[in-house]
C-alpha cells in the first residue's frame, strides 16, 4: 500500500464508508468492511478515527459540505428570485444524478440515528440542513436584489422539505425530468414570499 498523509487517508476512509453504507447499509459498515473497501489495513481506521461514531459524523459533515460547495460553485441565475431558486434546485438534481450514493448514505445514517436516539442525532442532522438552506435563501436574496417577506427560518424549512421530497422520489423513480418540473414549481412557490428591495412592506404607505 502506498504511503499517504493522514488527511488523505481520512478522506479515503470517508469515501469508502459512503460506498459501503450506500451499497449495504449502516449495519454492514464495520471498520473491517470500510478499511477493506479503502484498501487499507484495519489499524489505519483506529489511527485516523477513534470510534466508528466519529467516522459516521465525519461522513455526514463531509457530504453536507460537498453539497454546499457544489451549490456555491454552480452559476446561480440572478435575473429573478424564481430563476435563482430554480437554478439552485436544478444544480442539486445534477449532483444527485452524478452521485446518488451520497444521499443514500445520509438517509441510511439518519434512519439509524432516529432509531437509536429519537430526540437527538437525526434532529441535529436536519438542523444542519436548515442552516444550509437559510444561507442559500439569504444568498438568493442578495444576488437578486430582493428581501424575504416571511421569516427566513420558516422558508428554509420549506426548502429542506422540498429537497427531501426531490431526493427520495428521484431515488425511487429516477425521473429527472419530473424532478426538474417539481423544482420549477417549488421555486415559483417559494419566490412568492419575496419582494424587490424597494417595494413597500405590508401596511406601509409610500409618499408620492
| pLDDT tens figures, 14-26 | 888 888 888 888 8
pLDDT for residue 56? 79
Q: What is the mean pLDDT of residues 42-69?
A: 78
Cell numbers linked to 22:
450506500
pLDDT for residue 73? 56
pLDDT for residue 68? 63
pLDDT mean across residues, the chain: 85
Distances (CA, A) of 99 to 46, 95, 171, 176, 197: 28, 6, 11, 14, 37
Cell numbers linked to 86:
430554480
Quick check: pTM over 0.85?
no
pLDDT tens column, 135-193:
889 999 999 999 999 999 999 999 999 999 999 999 999 999 999 999 999 999 999 99
pLDDT for residue 208? 40
**Predicted confidence band of residue 97 (pLDDT cuts 50, 70, 90):** very high
Give CA–CA dist 95/71, Å, rounded.
Answer: 9
Cell numbers linked to 144:
437578486
Amino acid at each position: 500500500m502506498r504511503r499517504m498523509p493522514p488527511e488523505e487517508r481520512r478522506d479515503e476512509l470517508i469515501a469508502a464508508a459512503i460506498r459501503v453504507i450506500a451499497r449495504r447499509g449502516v449495519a454492514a459498515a464495520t471498520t473491517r468492511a470500510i478499511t477493506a473497501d479503502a484498501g487499507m489495513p484495519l489499524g489505519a481506521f483506529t489511527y485516523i478515527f477513534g470510534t466508528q461514531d466519529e467516522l459516521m459524523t465525519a461522513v455526514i459533515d463531509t457530504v453536507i459540505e460537498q453539497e454546499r460547495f457544489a451549490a456555491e460553485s454552480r452559476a446561480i441565475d440572478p435575473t429573478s428570485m424564481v430563476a435563482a431558486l430554480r437554478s439552485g434546485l436544478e444544480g442539486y438534481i445534477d449532483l444527485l444524478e452524478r452521485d446518488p450514493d451520497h444521499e443514500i448514505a445520509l438517509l441510511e445514517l439518519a434512519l439509524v440515528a432516529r432509531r437509536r436516539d429519537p430526540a437527538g442525532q437525526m434532529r441535529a442532522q436536519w438542523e444542519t440542513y436548515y442552516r444550509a438552506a437559510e444561507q442559500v435563501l439569504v444568498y438568493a436574496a442578495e444576488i437578486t436584489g430582493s428581501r424575504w417577506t416571511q421569516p427566513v427560518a420558516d422558508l428554509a424549512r420549506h426548502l429542506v422539505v422540498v429537497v427531501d421530497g426531490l431526493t427520495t422520489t428521484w431515488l425511487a423513480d429516477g425521473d429527472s425530468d419530473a424532478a426538474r418540473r417539481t423544482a420549477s414549481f417549488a421555486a415559483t412557490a417559494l419566490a412568492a414570499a419575496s419582494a424587490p428591495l424597494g417595494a413597500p412592506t405590508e401596511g406601509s404607505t409610500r409618499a408620492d
